[in-house]
């Protein structure tokens, strides 16, 4: 019935695999407390030997460490299996050891009798040697390699991550492959860290083997002599051989597992397994083989030496060297065509000509977490918000910001580029907060003094614990992602005109054409070219005017485009149509507009200059210097009064003064009388060239 579990579902292959590990652990724990018959011990000891051999062979066949990622867990489970078998066999040895060497099963008897000839003194020596080899040589060395590998793997992770990101940004790999390579790097670090810890189990197992051997011998003598009235010599013979057999049957698999661990952590990842690596690295060196054969041959001719063994091996080495040299001589004919193929594959093509990103953000490697999608980088989300905000406020969708890492800049730095050229840079500190002084703070804070990269205000990098204190003192406290995002938003707004290319203008017209198709079709290309419309829109953006009201802009161009073709004149006409939004953008909804005006004498002089056919570039130097100096003074006075710096001029002079003052006084807005909407009252608070 539906909703019920049958036995076939429970013991299906998938479920059986998920139950395998818990069942194995339960069996190991059961062996620690439940008595096992000798036959069961024989089967389990044999399984332990087979498991160790299988692990060794798998370790030899791997091409890289992660091919056997389960090895640390296998190491732990095999150690637990050996220790539980030691406990189970110890119980049987102490209970039944008085009956003879076969009391604990045939496997322990074979290892205790046949392998050491029934001589327990030899058995003890062999056991101690095996423990020393395992504990001091193999396990200690493998543990040290795993420890160093884990440390270097962790240190190399940032560089590897940046290399993956660089390949991804360059288009050499896709997102799936980048994700796979990042996962491999993380797994590699986890593997060596686990191996560093798992090697301690093997070392503990070797120490436990020595203690279990001593306990079995001493305990066996006590049980045999005191409980079973055996002679001391008979008890020593039986229990010592059983203890040695038990120790050897556990230590030999432990030694095999330790060798597998050493092979796994000491190998270098290549496209070959360990056997292929050894054969290609040792036996392909024909010069070394020839020299070795010569040395063995000379040693074999010395009287008293085992001539047959040395000369036989010398001949084998010489034969291997000869075969290797023949293969190397034949190799050039097989690869002779390789250089031609390589040249053809590397031939330049138009695919190698990569377009320059319109907007770019380059970050140092310590700032990668801010822009890492996999780590849910906050800066990526902020940049998406910046583009939406820009589109709503300015009136068109800016190009996407291409983010990449740059190893050539300071690790804490970033660069903002426009068409491949840097337009701004800064430095932020991850983990800290930037406390910006807006000019009204009540005290100072300890920290790293700096300046706000967006507006140049004094600031200080502080710890997160100082955040509330800084806010209470009047600081504006922002995180590193906000610092970069604010700087990017400021620069994108400043360079809005350069971001409005023909492609963006066409996309803007296409978007408007969805709601008013006839309006757009009548303007472009019937009345004006796309370049002329782009020039008008760019000029508006240069002067800080948003182009959100595209319907008013198109209506004005349609009204005057038939008899006016100059983009500058069209811009002036569009500004008049947008006068209400321009004034509201500067002043808000106030009815009285405090402005800077021109002194009448200066205004007449400028009109004469314009009527003479001179633009701002041809203005007399003395007049230009005076105009610039007086305007800067009036602008500072206006800002000190808390008013927006706006210069009100006759319509004919507005383009001339706007172009002339734009670079020297960028915060000054230049309006014409025609752009001021009805209902607004003008209040002149300062005169350029005179007094208010």
The one-character DSSP state at 113 is: I
302 CB contacts (<8 Å, ≥6 apart)?
Answer: none
Residue 330: its pLDDT value, please? 62
Residue 1: its pLDDT value, please? 43
Buried b (16+ CB within 10 A) or exposed e, 74-113: bbebbbbbbbbbbebbbbbbbeebbeebebbbebbbbbbb
Residue 340 clears pLDDT 60, i.e. is over it: no
Could you tell me which residues are beta bridge partners of residue 362?
404, 415
Query: Between residues 240 and 156, which one has the greater pLDDT?
Result: 240
Give pLDDT tens digits for 478-504.
Answer: 999 899 999 999 999 999 999 999 999
Least confident of 205-219, 250-264, 341-355, 412-426: 341-355
Residue 169: its pLDDT value, please? 61
**Cα–Cα distance, 557 to 572 (Å, whole number):** 11
Q: What angle do CA 400, 406, 412 make, to 5 degrees?
A: 100
Residue 238: its pLDDT value, please? 75
> Whose CA is closest to 523, among 547, 573, 559?
559
Least confident of 179-183, 335-339, 472-476, 678-682: 335-339
Query: Between residues 509 and 348, which one has the greater pLDDT?
Result: 509
Indicate the pLDDT class of residue 669, thresholds 50, 70 and 90: very high
**Mapped to the 3 state alphabet, what secondary structure does 276-330 carry?**
HHHHHHHHCCHHHHHHHHHHHHHHHCCCCCCHHHHHHHHHHHHHHHHHHHHHHHH
Residue 383 clears pLDDT 80, i.e. is over it: yes
DSSP letters, 348-413, are: --GGG-PPPPSEEEEE-GGGHHHH-TTTT-HHHHHHHHHHHHHHHHHSSPPPPEEEEE-TTS-TTE
Structure tokens at 28: 């190991």
Residue 3: its pLDDT value, please? 46
Q: How large is the average pLDDT for residues 210-233?
A: 79
Query: Between residues 337 and 362, which one has the greater pLDDT?
Result: 362
Indicate the pLDDT class of residue 644, thresholds 50, 70 and 90: very high
| Average pLDDT of the chain, as a whole number | 80
588 CB contacts (<8 Å, ≥6 apart)?
Answer: none
DSSP letters, 199-212, are: HHHHHHHHHHHHHH
Q: What angle do CA 609, 614, 620 make, to 5 degrees?
A: 65
Residue 440 clears pLDDT 60, i.e. is over it: yes
Residue 621: its pLDDT value, please? 79
Give the chain's end-to-end CA distance (angstroms, integer): 95
Structure tokens at 8: 């076939």
> Whose CA is closest to 505, among 523, 481, 484?
523
Residue 280: its pLDDT value, please? 65
> Whose CA is closest to 571, among 604, 603, 599, 545?
545
247 CB contacts (<8 Å, ≥6 apart)?
Answer: 127, 209, 212, 213, 216
**Cα–Cα distance, 362 to 421 (Å, whole number):** 12
Residue 78: its pLDDT value, please? 80
Give pLDDT tens digits for 32-80.
Answer: 777 778 788 888 888 888 888 888 888 777 777 777 777 777 777 887 8
Give pLDDT tens digits for 110-163.
Answer: 776 666 666 767 777 777 777 777 777 777 776 677 666 666 666 666 666 666
Could you tell me the CA-to-CA distances from 64 to 81, 151, 188, 193 in Å, in that order? 27, 18, 10, 16
> Whose CA is closest to 245, among 128, 100, 134, 110?
110
Residue 508: its pLDDT value, please? 92
Least confident of 21-25, 94-98, 153-157, 329-333: 329-333
The number of angstroms, rounded, from the C-alpha of 500 to the middle of its chain's C-alpha atoms is 33
Query: Between residues 169 and 544, which one has the greater pLDDT?
Result: 544
Structure tokens at 620: 């007399």
Q: What angle do CA 426, 443, 434 make, to 5 degrees?
A: 25
Structure tokens at 682: 């003008």
**Cα–Cα distance, 174 to 519 (Å, whole number):** 43
Give pLDDT tens digits for 540-597.
Answer: 999 999 999 999 999 999 999 888 889 999 999 999 999 999 999 999 888 999 999 9
Does residue 498 sit in helix, strand or coil? helix
For the chain, what percent of residues have pLDDT higher than 70? 81
Residue 671: its pLDDT value, please? 94
**Cα–Cα distance, 259 to 252 (Å, whole number):** 11
């Amino acid at each position: 019935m539906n909703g019920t579990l049958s036995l076939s579902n429970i013991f299906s292959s998938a479920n059986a695999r998920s139950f395998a590990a818990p069942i194995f652990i339960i069996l190991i724990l059961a062996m620690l407390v439940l008595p096992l018959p000798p036959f069961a011990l024989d089967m389990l000891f044999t399984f332990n030997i087979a498991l160790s051999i299988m692990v060794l062979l798998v370790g030899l066949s791997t091409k890289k460490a992660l091919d056997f990622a389960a090895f640390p867990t296998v190491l732990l489970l095999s150690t637990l299996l050996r220790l539980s078998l030691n406990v189970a066999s110890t119980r049987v040895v102490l209970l039944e050891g008085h009956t003879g060497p076969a009391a604990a099963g045939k496997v322990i008897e074979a290892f205790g009798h046949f392998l050491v000839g029934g001589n327990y003194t030899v058995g003890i020596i062999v056991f101690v040697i095996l423990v020393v080899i395992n504990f001091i040589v193999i396990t200690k060395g493998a543990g040290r390699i795993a420890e160093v590998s884990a440390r270097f793997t962790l240190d190399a992770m940032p560089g590897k991550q940046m290399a993956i990101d660089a390949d991804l940004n360059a288009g050499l790999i896709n997102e799936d492959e980048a994700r796979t390579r990042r996962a491999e790097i993380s797994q590699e670090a986890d593997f060596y860290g686990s191996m560093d810890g798992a090697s301690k189990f093997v070392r503990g197992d070797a120490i436990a083997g020595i203690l279990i051997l001593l306990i079995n011998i001493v305990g066996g003598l006590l049980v045999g002599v005191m409980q079973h009235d055996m002679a001391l010599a008979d008890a020593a013979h039986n229990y010592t051989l059983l203890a040695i057999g038990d120790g050897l049957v556990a230590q030999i698999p432990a030694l095999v597992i330790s060798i597998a661990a050493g092979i796994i952590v000491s190998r270098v990842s290549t496209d070959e397994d360990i056997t292929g690596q050894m054969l290609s690295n040792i036996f392909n060196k024909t010069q070394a083989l020839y020299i070795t054969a010569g040395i063995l041959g000379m040693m074999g001719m010395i009287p008293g030496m085992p001539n047959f063994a040395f000369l036989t091996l010398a001949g084998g080495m010489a034969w291997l060297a000869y075969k290797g040299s023949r293969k190397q001589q034949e190799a050039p004919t097989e690869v002779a065509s390789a250089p031609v193929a390589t040249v053809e594959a590397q031939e330049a093509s138009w695919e190698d000509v990569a377009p320059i990103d319109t907007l770019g953000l380059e970050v140092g490697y310590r700032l990668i977490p801010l822009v890492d999608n996999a780590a849910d980088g906050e800066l990526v989300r902020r940049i998406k918000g910046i583009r939406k905000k820009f589109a709503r406020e300015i009136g068109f969708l800016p190009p996407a910001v291409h983010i990449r890492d740059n190893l050539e800049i300071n690790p804490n730095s970033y660069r903002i580029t426009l068409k491949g050229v840097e337009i701004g840079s800064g430095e932020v500190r991850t983990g800290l907060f930037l406390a910006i002084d807006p000019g009204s703070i009540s005290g100072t804070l300890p920290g790293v003094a700096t300046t706000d990269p967006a507006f140049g205000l004094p600031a200080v990098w502080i710890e997160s614990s100082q955040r509330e204190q800084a806010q209470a003192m009047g600081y504006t406290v922002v995180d590193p992602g906000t610092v970069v995002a604010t700087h990017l938003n400021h620069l994108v707004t400043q360079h809005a005109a350069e971001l409005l290319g023909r492609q963006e203008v066409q996309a803007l017209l296409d978007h408007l054409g969805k709601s008013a198709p006839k309006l757009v079709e009548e303007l472009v290309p019937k009345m004006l070219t796309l370049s002329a419309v782009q020039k008008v829109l760019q000029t508006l953006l240069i002067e800080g005017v948003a182009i959100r009201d595209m319907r008013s802009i198109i209506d004005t161009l349609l009204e005057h485009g038939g008899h006016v073709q100059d983009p500058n004149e069209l811009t002036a006409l569009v500004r008049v149509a947008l006068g209400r939004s321009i004034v509201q953008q500067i002043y808000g909804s106030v009815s009285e507009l405090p402005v800077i005006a021109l002194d009448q004498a200066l205004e007449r002089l400028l009109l004469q200059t314009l009527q003479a056919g001179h633009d701002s570039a041809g203005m007399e130097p003395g007049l230009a210097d005076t105009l610039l100096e007086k305007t800067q003074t009036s602008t500072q006075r206006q800002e000190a009064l808390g008013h927006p710096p706006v210069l009100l001029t006759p319509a004919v002079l507005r383009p001339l003064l706007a172009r002339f003052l734009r670079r020297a006084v960028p915060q000054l807005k230049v309006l014409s009388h025609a752009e001021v909407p009805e209902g607004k009252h003008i209040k002149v608070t300062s005169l350029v060239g005179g007094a208010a």
